[in-house]
């Protein structure tokens, strides 16, 4: 800690520290301790950004931009991220930014400030990240550190026993924390703990824990700590349910308020809370009991909290042990169901996408983690397991892709949508409704990003399949045809756009009626296509039709009515202006001779 502080307190500008080391040695914990110290010292800004992928870095910097008011007029996340970088390079305040769990230098290097006074900490398993800045290495505890740590945490004055415990768990800080918690809570001697550890039947709990570079005994120490806290603390199984739900959500942290939405098991005597404030009559565990259980888990060193205490953290190895145990005991479907129930409740509606984008960004991260937790066929890559859960997770992913497009986080929306399309095609087949929805939404993301050729190709694929499987007049088919027309219009292929809009309008008038809102929208869009093609009289006629009907059926102040009125007024004024110019040119007043 002191070494990290000394680097950050140096007189250099734009100081970057690279905290590297093996798994479980406490890199994130070290960075979090520094962040808490800066918060306590009232630094101007302390930001924590999960940095496992480029899209997470961009999203995190976009949120930083929101926090400091940089790029306030920008809705595109990539542009807001660049504004955040410029702000970091120009700030003179006391600022700390942590990029946590960076996988490779390329993920974060383009976004590190080159100038300014901001202090940046990068945590990573990869020593390749040493090139990013001043190196602060974190390793296994030394023998002396092990003895001192266990003496402080357990109160036992037995250096030889402490050394033996350290050897048993490979002196891994993560495992030592759990060992100390068990020893303290059960009032064990070091020898008694080692005996329990050696007799713990790990093979009966876990099937796939090797190969991650963790020292011998680490998995056993975690599994023993989990078993001890679950069997001795009561709470009617709530500690186990919380542990297992946390194991399939984002390792970057889970908002404590989110966990209050864990559905209650109504067949127990638990006191529960209602979700009536959110038009949801599910019985939930509630914040009070969740906080009680989290306190127990934190005392056992199985979870910790972020620097602002807002979110709960679980180490990746702890999460892996819990997931494998749940699979071993055929509980994994129940775990996924609990997680999906929580996330279903947290989906941000489309009309509040921008307003609640920070909450939604965390939900998207949880959906990513939940997807990674699903089991796949090693040969085909298809998801395997309970079909209902796979479909529900896919629905969550579809919402996430739509949200990312809505808030113009387009790079991540496209990456997210492409991975989702591969999975839906593999798992459900190319013609399944979930696959069609995914392909359609990916086309929309490409269109928003200006990649019109890709958008048109995907819209055409969806339209062909929808016409064959749903029918030419199905609402989803009409929507796709209209969106393909819109893409054609953006691409300047106006004849194709007009032809498709006319097809949609004819069908909508016949199946929905001439005054249906979707019919009005189509007529409005056809008018816009005529306007783009220079067929202004047709455009004006259609705009007038839409406006007259919209004022009568939707009301004069409805947003769609107002949009049509603005389009008509702008076109009318532009047309009148051109007419006046033609009149003045053709009929000049000549001076008398």
Q: Are residues 27 and 94 in the same domain?
A: yes
Task: Say if 490 falls within a structural domain.
Answer: no
Name the least confident of 187-191, 354-358, 402-406: 354-358
Q: Which H or E run includes 98?
A: strand 95-100
User: pLDDT per residue over 530-585, tens digit each?
Assistant: 999 999 999 999 999 999 999 999 999 998 889 999 988 888 887 765 444 333 33
Q: Are residues 50 and 109 in the same domain?
A: yes
Banded pLDDT at 3 (limits 50, 70, 90): low
Domain count, the chain: 2
Instruction: Tell which of 232, 250, 272 closes a domain.
Output: 232
Instruction: Tell which of 207, 232, 257 closes a domain.
Output: 232
Evaluate whether 533 touches 542 at the Cβ level (below 8 Å).
no
Q: Are residues 27 and 122 in the same domain?
A: yes
Q: Are residues 90 and 183 in the same domain?
A: no
Instruction: Tell which of 137, 153, 176 closes a domain.
Output: 137
Q: Are residues 81 and 106 in the same domain?
A: yes
| Burial category of 559 from C-beta neighbours within 10 Å (exposed 0-12, middle 13-18, buried 19 and up) | exposed
The vertex-248 CA angle with 32 and 97, nearest 5°, equals: 25
Q: Are residues 21 and 123 in the same domain?
A: yes
Q: 112 lies in which domain range?
A: 2-137
Evaluate whether 463 touches 484 at the Cβ level (below 8 Å).
yes
Task: Say if 199 falls within a structural domain.
Answer: yes
Output the domain CATH number for residue 118.
3.40.50.300
Q: Are residues 176 and 94 in the same domain?
A: no
- The confidence score (pLDDT) of residue 279 equals 46
Residue 26 phi/psi, 5-degree rounding, is 105, 25
Q: Are residues 9 and 122 in the same domain?
A: yes
Q: Are residues 9 and 129 in the same domain?
A: yes
This prediction has a pTM of: 0.84
- The confidence score (pLDDT) of residue 572 equals 84
Q: Are residues 153 and 118 in the same domain?
A: no
Task: Say if 149 falls within a structural domain.
Answer: yes
CA nearest to 247, candidates 317, 297, 187? 317
Task: Say if 350 falls within a structural domain.
Answer: no
Task: Say if 325 falls within a structural domain.
Answer: no
Q: Are residues 180 and 132 in the same domain?
A: no
**Residues contacting 438, CB < 8 A, separation 6+:** 394, 398, 401, 417, 420, 421, 424
Please compute the mean of the pLDDT values over residues 139-149 and round it to a whole number: 92
Task: Say if 195 falls within a structural domain.
Answer: yes
Evaluate whether 73 touches 11 at the Cβ level (below 8 Å).
no
User: pLDDT per residue over 469-506, tens digit each?
Assistant: 999 999 999 999 999 999 999 999 999 999 999 999 99
Place of tokens 């892996």: 320
């Amino acid at each position: 800690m002191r070494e990290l502080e000394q680097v950050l307190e140096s007189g250099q500008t734009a100081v970057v520290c690279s905290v590297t080391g093996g798994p479980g040695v406490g890199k994130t914990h070290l960075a979090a301790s520094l962040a808490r110290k800066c918060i306590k010292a009232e630094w101007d800004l302390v930001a924590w950004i999960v940095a496992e992928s480029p899209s997470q870095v961009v999203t995190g910097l976009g949120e930083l931009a929101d926090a400091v008011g940089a790029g306030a007029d920008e809705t595109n996340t990539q542009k807001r991220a660049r504004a955040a970088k410029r702000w970091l390079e120009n700030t003179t305040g006391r600022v700390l930014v942590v990029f946590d769990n960076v996988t490779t230098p390329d993920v974060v290097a383009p976004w590190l400030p080159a100038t300014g006074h901001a202090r940046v900490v990068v945590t990573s398993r990869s020593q390749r990240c040493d090139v990013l800045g001043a190196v602060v290495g974190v390793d296994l505890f030394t023998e002396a550190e092990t003895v001192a740590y266990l003496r402080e945490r357990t109160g036992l004055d037995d250096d030889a026993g402490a050394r033996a415990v350290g050897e048993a768990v490979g002196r891994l800080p993560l495992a030592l924390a759990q060992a100390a918690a068990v020893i303290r809570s059960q009032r064990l001697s070091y020898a008694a703990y080692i005996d329990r550890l050696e007799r713990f039947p790990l093979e009966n709990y876990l099937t796939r824990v090797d190969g991650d570079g963790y020292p011998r005994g680490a998995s056993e120490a975690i599994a023993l700590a989990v078993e001890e806290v679950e069997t001795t603390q009561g709470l009617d199984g709530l500690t186990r349910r919380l542990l297992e739900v946390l194991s399939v959500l984002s390792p970057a942290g889970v908002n404590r308020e989110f966990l209050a939405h864990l559905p209650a098991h109504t067949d127990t005597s638990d006191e529960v809370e209602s979700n009536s404030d959110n038009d949801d009559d599910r019985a939930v565990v509630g914040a009070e009991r969740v906080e009680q259980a989290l306190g127990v888990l934190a005392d056992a060193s199985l979870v910790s909290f972020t620097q602002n205490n807002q979110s709960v953290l679980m180490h990746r190895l702890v999460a892996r042990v819990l997931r494998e145990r749940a699979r071993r005991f055929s509980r994994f479907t129940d775990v996924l169901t609990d997680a999906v129930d929580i996330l279903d409740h947290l989906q941000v509606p489309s009309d509040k996408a921008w307003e609640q984008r920070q909450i939604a960004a965390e939900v998207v991260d949880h959906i990513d983690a939940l997807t990674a937790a699903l089991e796949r066929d090693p040969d085909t890559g298809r998801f395997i397991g309970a079909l209902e859960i796979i479909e529900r997770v896919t629905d969550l992913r579809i919402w996430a892709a739509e949200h990312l497009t809505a808030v113009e986080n387009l790079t991540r929306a496209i990456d997210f949508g492409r991975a989702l399309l591969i999975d839906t095609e593999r798992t459900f087949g190319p013609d399944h409704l979930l696959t069609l929805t995914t392909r359609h939404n990916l086309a929309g993301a490409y269109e928003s990003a200006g990649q019109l050729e890709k958008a048109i190709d995907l819209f055409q694929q969806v339209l062909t399949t929808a016409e064959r499987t749903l029918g030419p007049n199905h609402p989803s088919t009409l929507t796709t045809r209209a969106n393909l027309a819109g893409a054609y219009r953006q691409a300047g292929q106006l004849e194709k756009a007009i032809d498709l809009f006319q097809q949609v309008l004819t069908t909508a008038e016949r199946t929905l009626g001439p005054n249906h809102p979707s019919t009005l929208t189509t007529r409005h869009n056809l008018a816009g296509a005529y306007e783009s093609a220079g067929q202004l009289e047709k455009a004006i006629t259609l705009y007038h039709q839409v406006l007259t009907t919209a004022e009568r059926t939707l009301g004069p102040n409805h947003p769609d009515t107002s949009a049509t009125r603005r389009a008509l007024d702008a076109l009318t004024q532009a047309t009148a202006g051109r007419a006046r110019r033609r009149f003045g040119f053709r009929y000049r007043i000549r001076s008398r001779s």
